Amino acid sequence: MTARVTVLYFASLRDVAEIDHETFDTAAPDLRVLYLELRARYGFPMPVERLRVAVDGAFARWEDVPRDGSEIAFIPPVSGG
């Protein structure tokens, strides 16, 4: 089973990936594995433990399965305020 997902990159992740989003088909069984695959592809320095993950604009769980048509964002530690 593959799902077509759009992944958004922000802040230091965008700087490393050199893109702010991309759409592709993934067979990753969950969002943790999806991040690990992208980390291997782009060389993100941050381990999964330092990030949170969001799906369609709401915080999600690393164990969630990538859903077809969803928008996924890996959220580095925030620094607003």
Residues contributing to the site for other proteins (CB under 8 A): 8, 10-12, 15, 46, 50, 54, 57-59, 73, 75-81
**Which is nearer to other proteins, 2 or 23 (by Cβ)?**
23
Q: Where are the alpha helices (DSSP H) in the chain?
A: 11-17, 31-42
C-alpha dist (Å) from residue 50 to 1, 68, 69: 28, 26, 26
**Which is nearer to other proteins, 28 or 54 (by Cβ)?**
54
Smallest distance, Å, CB 52 to other proteins?
A: 8
**Which is nearer to other proteins, 24 or 59 (by Cβ)?**
59
Smallest distance, Å, CB 38 to other proteins?
A: 17
Instruction: Answer whether 36's CB lies under 8 Å from 43's CB.
Output: no
Amino acid at 51: L
